[in-house]
A and B are shown apart, each in its own frame.
Chain A
């Protein structure tokens, strides 16, 4: 009984599910038009333009268009150095030679560049400060670079400040401290910058460019030093390696063996020289005498053999036809023929 009931419920459910929705019916007007050929089914879907309500949508947006000035301002704001870094860049005289508050370089690269600039500062009378920006960045117009250099670098050691754009060395700019500006002309500064930029542009990547730029500028600063009268010819003529070389002998002690040899040379040098000379002379004389020597043999009467009037001395025969046949293997070779 229970099973029959379940079958009945299932079959009833299937019957209800099998009921289809009623098909659409033609209206009388449409049917007439269809029969006349005026109405094509589906034409509305294929050929009709977008619904009127969609085309009407833009008309609803009433947001005002940005003006060109606003667009320029916006673009400018996106390329400018962010305001939060301006204080770190231009707020005070930099404490390190590499100014990179944005952290554009990795720690290692920053350390390397900084150490190079420190080395330069130790070796030169003119410091080199590098303000590092990203290649696409620009310094805000309210920042006056020249004025900043004047303000921060007018006192103390003369300095050269460079605004370097990582990956775009051609955008770089150079400024010198007031102590140098009188002696180093703007043309000379420009030339130094161009030379450094050219050097940098020969490198394939941004870091190598920056390194090459710093090295070349450091070299050019040496010429600026000379132009400013900070380097005398005497100093220029005695570079670091030579100074250390001249100091070395004073520190280095002569080894005992060398000292003894020198002493021995002083005592016995002349006599040893004479002996060696005499030996060489004798050896040369012997060699010369040997080359001039003539060797004579006693002549004995020898009875002719085998009818030969002059000679019958039969020497060895050696074959050189094969590399496997060594001379020693041919020592006792006897011909197996009689030459007949």
Chain B
């Protein structure tokens, strides 16, 4: 019993240390990934209207958004100058972005899997902005202090808990969309996988009994 308690407390300590060590600066917030089409669509709209000012998603075409249930009209509604078959590239020229931020803002298509606990990083980043000064002129980020990216979702401006909750919901939608974007085949993979595992269990069980039968003769 004592050994078990010691072991459990060691694990708890480790877990605590782990989560505290997670971000470069602050701790990572938890986020519920919503795998529904609606959440992903809401996230897609925010990404196209806000994030794509500076970021691209080179591996997603606008037409791919039909995979999360958007109709052709809905997709065309999001477009500015782009074609529906174009990749989701930022319309702001590279030089302009590079000058404003010192380097080209990273592509978002794989961001959710580009580091361990990617979705939590995305969500925490978006909702960790705060004003450095009393006059509320310069923002900084708890997770990545000194970050060049501005407060895209205006989180630091939120004044009430409701406002913050609204932006947090939007950030969660953005995260859900980016999780889909990084690995669109994830759902069909797991569905097919379930069938495969069930089949293999059946086959292996049959093989087991056949093995017993064959070896039974010589034991």
A, B bound: no
User: Chain A: residues with CB nearer than 8 A to chain B?
Assistant: none
Task: Give chain B's interface residues, CB within 8 Å of chain A.
Answer: none
